[in-house]
Structures are given as structure tokens and as C-alpha cells.
Structure 1
Amino acid sequence: MKIKYHYKPSKLIKSLLLLLLIATVAFIQGCTVLSKQKTQTAQKVIVAYVTSWTTVIPDPKHITHLNYAFGHVNDTFNGVRINNPDRLRKLTELKNNAPDLKILISIGGWGSGKFSEMAASDTGRTKFAEDCQRVIKEYNLDGIDIDWEYPTNKSAGISSSPDDTKNYTLMMKAIRNKIGTQKLLTLASSPDAHYIDFKSIQPVIDFVNIMTYDMGNPPHHHAGLFRSKNTKWISADEAVTAHVNAGIPINQLVLGIPFYGHGKNGIAGYIDYKEVVKLTGFKTQWDADAKVPYLENEKGELVCTYENPESIQIKCEYLLKRGMLGAMYWDYAGDTEDGALRKAVYTGMNK
């Protein structure tokens, strides 16, 4: 005769088994999320600034992110004012055929003020952040790009305060709190990594667009990759290192590339690349140290500093080798009609 044993687990064991099951499911879900985050981080970005005062419609196949320039802090220091909102709405229609394209509004720009006043109070920061959330929802955007040039500095003719750097951090945290973690929060920064406490904002931002241009005027380069005799105060390579030293991981940094140049002696101080290639009477030269081209007049003087497809390819090779997140350029409309520069960026980033 066999004795049958009927084992019934106790309530405690049942509870422990349930907890184990829940923990296992949570672990699997967590691994899936981390895997997605790593995949997203590994994807390189190509950020194009598109302005409110131009009419060109970008080709989404050459970019991953579009930053609309500009929005501004409003006159009451508690919200966002958008330049040419109809153009922004038109641009967001690109997502109908390019659903992966990320479109952000860039708030600020050179000479765009009222940041200091807005960020100085908790009420101002909160109201501004709430309005950022409204703008994202109303215009079907993917995030906010802050282009405050620059905290604590009034050289652009804007108000400033010694507390701007501290308040900048509080502002960015307020924006992140309101827009949530599913939307992007990025910023444009000075080449020397001054004005901002990068360590304090790093946990709440997605990436930093370094404005590695306007670093000199003729007879100096304005976007030299490395230092040469024609470097004025900083090179793009030194700018990247400055941001890493300031507390931003290399894979959260995006290298800025200008689609324009600076000239003198008969060449416009600000000149789009599409106009640079039309210039005659100058000799094209190459700075082998800085890895950029320039134009020289009959006296042998550097009279125009700019980028071309060759220098852009080298910049892309550089940023990929350093492990940077991607490339950014100002601005889309400066390119030639056939897209010589944007195609160079795209090709360089997808080698």
C-alpha cells in the first residue's frame, strides 16, 4: 500500500513565490528598457538648425533632428514667444512622411534676452516650463533646445546677473520636470564651456550642441578643428575637451559645424557657403594643421574662413573617433541648392 502525500504550500511560501515572479518580470522589463536606451544612445544624431526667416523645407533623409530657430522668453518673463509660428507648423508636417524625425524649438539665440529675469524666480521658471510643455503639445514637438547666449554675460546686449548660472540649472530642472522624460531637452553652448554648471544639468539633459564656430574672424579661422597659426583663441578639438572636463560625457556631446563663413576686404562679414562658392578672384587654400579651407587674396592674406565638404568629412571622422553623439549645423539654408554640405555631414556620419 502506497502512502500519498499531499503538499500544500503555506501562504508565506505562496507570497514569496509571487514576489519572485514579480521581481523576475520587472527585471526582464528593466533589461528591455536599458537595451532600448543603449540603442537610442548609440544612434548618432544629425541636428540641423532651420530658421524662421527662411523658406527652404529640409530634406528629412539627411537629418535626425530639426531645431527651429527661434522661440524667445516673452515680455512678461513667464512664457514662450515663437517667431513665425506658421512656418513651425509647416515644418512639423515633415513628420507625416518622416515619423522618426525629431523636431525641437530652440529658445534664445544671440541677442535674445529676458532669460535672466525669467530664471531669477521660482514662479518665473515654473511658468516658463509650463509654457514649454504647452508649446510642445500645441505644435507636436519632440522637445526644447535652450540657446541662452550667455548666462552671466551681457555682451549680446541682454540683461544678466551673477546668479544666472545657478538659475540656469534650476530652469533646466523645471523644464525637465514639466515636459517629462519622454521629450528631449538639449542646449547650445559656448566653445569654452563657460557660463553653465554642466555637472549640475547633466542628469536632466539629453545632449549638448557645442557652437564650435565664430571662434575667430579673418585672418583667423572661425571653425578650425585643431590649433594652427591661424587659430585665435580656441579650436573645435579644445572645445570638446573643455566640455568633457566640465562634466559632460563625450557621448552626450554634439559638434557644431557652420554652413557659413566670415570674410573681410570686400567679402561679407557673414556669408553663406552657397555664396562663398560663387566668389571669384581669390585663391582657395588649405590649412593642414587646422583641417579647414580658406580664401586668400592677391596679397596672400586670409580673407575668408569657412567649411567645405572635405573639412566636414574630417570633422565627422574626428567626432566618431572620439565617441561623440553626432553633428549639428547652423544653418540649413546656408547650403548650396544641391546640398553639398548637408550631404557631406550625412555621408560622414554614416560611414
Structure 2
Amino acid sequence: MKYLKTTTLIIILYFAFACTSNKTAGNVINRNEEKIVLAYVTSWSSIIPDPNYITHINYAFGHVNNTFDGVRIDNENRLRQLVELKIQKPSLKIILSIGGWGSGRFSEMAADEHFRRSFAKDCKRVIDEFALDGIDIDWEYPTTDMAGISSSPADKDNFTLMMKYIREEIGENKLLTLATVANARYIDFRGIGSYINFVNIMSYDMGSPPFHHSGLYRSKHTGGTSVDEAVKAHVNMGVSLNKLVMGIPFYGRGKKEIGNFSNYRNIIALNGYTTKWDDEAKAPYLSSDSVPFVCGYDDARSISIKCKYIKEHGMLGAMYWDYAGDDDEGTLRKAVYNGLNL
């Protein structure tokens, strides 16, 4: 009788585990401990993301307002529409990303005690009003005006104070993240370490033809840095691997005839080019009869290898810019999710 009771208990526990760890959605298995798969979704696109292939959405963008003391959100109705996806997938996290290339007024806000405190309070207001799961800061980049925005040598220290204030206002149960340049400059990562949940490395835009802009490893087609080197740069600056999220582009960098920025969906529709593979960089690229390297980008193969790297190195997951760059079949978003969580 004791044996039968034990066997019955084992069977019950087995089926309970199976039900919680192998719920299917199409060909996707939702597991209790998913790697983060974070999609940037923009205010100017209209596509509705498939939540089965995403764990987090960063809504792009919010901005520091004109009076330096609050948050302005692009296309608020679009944000509300995305939050409704939580009805389909309650575990989905929706985060407002504040900033982006050319988004300014950070330096003035962060430098002033009153503005800094008011901005942090408004981050809390935004979270509550839109039922969000957190705030992502995409200040590109403290101490530099390369994006055509104001800057100051004090930005680095003020960035740390800003993150401290935001954390105090939003509490410990909400997410606070940031996007960072591949070389890990401009931010005191050790100073903000106790305030943040994770770091999204923008491990792309690291070169233009004849160089890859997101090659995993260094090769003869590496002009600036590689993704692997970007990860190591962040670790060297004090970020633990389990707080790092690797950025993957859903677009390529091409020569003039293709365009410096071209979404994956457009790249695969091109005619007159040959697809080649750089086995050192683990990245595809296009060539023509007259030009050896026309466009560097990511495809399902390179993404699969990056996902293996993420898992083997104990990273937290992957993010990508942006959801709308994928093809109609969802080739890249499926490659990211399945590569990390199947």
C-alpha cells in the first residue's frame, strides 16, 4: 500500500510538471525559466507582435519632456494597444524605453536635483497610468553630443544619480533597464549595478561595408568590434553575464545602392546579389559581381549561433531592433525565441 501511494504521488507530480513546463503555443514551448527575448516595438509601426515569441517588449519611445521634469510618450494609443497583449500572455512584460538616437534633454534633467526627482516621479506615474512593468533608459550617450544632443562631462555621474532616483520611485518590483553602446563607454556600470535589472547591449551598428555591423567574432570583415568583444567589454566594466542581454539587428548595413539601413524583409527580396557566409565572424553578407561586400546583416543561421553563445556564456537573453524588420513569416523572431528557449 505504501508503494502504491508513493507511485501514485510520483505520477501526479510528473503530470503536474508536464502541464506547467510544456504548454504549447503553435510550435513554441513556454517554459518556466525562459531566457529573455526582448523586442523593440516602435510607435511609428502598426504591426501587432506575436506574444508567443517574446517575453518582453520595449516600446520606443518616450522622451524627456520640454521642461526637463517629466516624460513625453510618442503615440500613447499604440502603447495601450501593446499593453493589451498581456491579456493573451499575462507573463509578457511591457517596458517604456525613454530616449533613442537624437532624443535629448537628458543632460539638463539629470544635472538638476529638482528635475531629476520630478522625472523619476513621472516614470512612476507612467508605469501606473499605462500598467507597465518598468522603464528602460536609452540615453545615447552620457558625456557626448554625437547624437546632436546636449552633453556635459558630469553626465556620467548624473546618470548614476538619475537611475538611483528612478529605482527609489518605481520600487523594487518594477524593471529598470538600459541600452548601452557596444564598447561599454559612457556609463558607470558599477555605480548603477544595484539599481538595474539588466543591460541591453546594442551590439550592432559596429561597422559598414566592407565590414559587418554585428558579426559575432572578429574576422577580416570586422572594422570596429565584434559582438563577443562587446560582451567582454561590459563584463570588464563590472556587469555580470547574467545581467547582460545581447542585441541582435533585424536589419542590415549596406552600400548606397541598398541603403545604409535596410530591414531584413527588404534584404531577402533583393535581386542580383549573392549570399555569402563568413565562417570566422559567423555572419552572412551580400556580394555582387563588382563589389565583394555589399551588405552585412543577421539571418536565422547567425542568430542560432548567437543564441548558443548566450546560453553557453550564461547571459540573460537577447533583444532585437526591431520587430517590424522581420519578414512576414517571422523567420528571425522565431529563430531568437526557439534558439534560446527550445
TM-score between the two structures when normalised by the length of structure 1: 0.88
Structure 1 pair 332–136 and aligned structure 2 pair: CA distance change class (3 A): same
1:74-153 equivalence runs, <5 A? 74-153=65-144
Cα distance in 2, alignment partners of residues 202 and 239 from structure 1: 18
1:68-92 CA distance string (max 9 Å, x none):
0000000000000000001001110
Aligned partner letter, 1:117: E
Structure 1 runs of 4+ with >6 Å offset: none
Tell me by how many angstroms 1:301 deviates: 1.9
1:1-351 equivalence runs, <5 A? 43-351=34-342
Identity of aligned residues (%): 61
1:267-297 CA distance string (max 9 Å, x none):
1111000000000100100000000000001
**Number of residue pairs matched?**
312
Unaligned runs of 5+ in 2: 1-30
Tell me by how many angstroms 1:350 deviates: 1.4
Equivalent residue, structure 1, for 2:5: none
Tell me by how many angstroms 1:233 deviates: 1.2
Unaligned runs of 5+ in 1: 1-39
TM-score between the two structures when normalised by the length of structure 2: 0.90
Equivalent residue, structure 2, for 1:28: none
Tell me by how many angstroms 1:121 deviates: 1.2
Cα distance in 2, alignment partners of residues 85 and 55 from structure 1: 13
Is contact 2:254-2:261 (8 Å) kept?
yes
Compute the RMSD of aligned alpha carbons: 1.2
1:299-346 CA distance string (max 9 Å, x none):
242011110000000000011100000000000000001100000001
Equivalent residue, structure 2, for 1:11: none
Cα distance in 1, alignment partners of residues 140 and 130 from structure 2: 25
Larger radius of gyration: 1
Aligned partner letter, 1:57: I
Cα distance in 2, alignment partners of residues 300 and 189 from structure 1: 33
